Amino acid sequence: MNSRQDRVWTRVMVTGLPLFLILGVAVIFATRTTLSEENSADKIAQDLSPAQESLKPVVKPEKEWKSLLTEEQFHVTRKKGTERAFTGRYWDNKRNGIYQCICCGLPLFDSTTKFKSGTGWPSFWEPFQQQHVLLEEDRSLFFSVRTEVKCRRCDAHLGHVFEDGPEPTGLRYCINSAALDFKFRRKKSDRRSGKQGSP
């Protein structure tokens, strides 16, 4: 190898090798993340044990919720906040799975009841189980009475329900992404057969 070839080879090694390594690490990391997400989601979706669905109240002091949640999750769920439309993680999520409470993990909504509402918030026409959510009159806006939707188990504020949803219920559960934790499900659910549609 003459010195010119030597220099070219050195340059290839210096510039190419780190790039190759970075790409390699990125690919491995991406694959591992996807696999672990799918595996854990599969597990959760396949065996929703009675313990997971138990409605025994989950009560924690505010300080603890603060340490467990992001600032936005805390603001939405524990302080009845609302995330800005079209900014959340799930308004446009079309994957098959279950949306759990970000605070306590209780299954709240199934992707088969999610529909495109155009509002910028995840919208569902039915909860996962009616008894998993709590509905309360909300008069916080002086010009209207709304129905607040809360997690039955930990009292987290989730959003509101309106009567302008699609069939079969005619309801629109307008929920903050920040209140939800989506768990991917590999198989199509057979416990629901909801149609997609606009309100």
Nearer to Zn ion, 45 or 156 (CB): 156
Query: For 28-64, b where at least 16 C-beta lie within 10 A, e where not — what string?
Result: eeeeeeeeeeeeebbebbeebeeeeeeeeebeeeeee
Calpha distance 101→131 (Å, rounded): 14
Site string for Zn ion, 95-134 (x = CB under 5 A): ------x-xx-x----------------------------
Nearest distance from C-beta of residue 153 to Zn ion, angstroms? 5
Could you give the residue numbers annotated as active site?
A: 174
Site membership for Zn ion, residue 153 (CB under 5 A) = yes
166: cis peptide before it, omega within 30°?
no
Site string for Zn ion, 52-91 (x = CB under 5 A): ----------------------------------------
Q: Decide: 28 and 21 in contact? Cβ < 8 Å.
A: no
- Which residues bind to Zn ion, rule: CB under 5 A? 101, 103-104, 106, 151, 153-154, 156
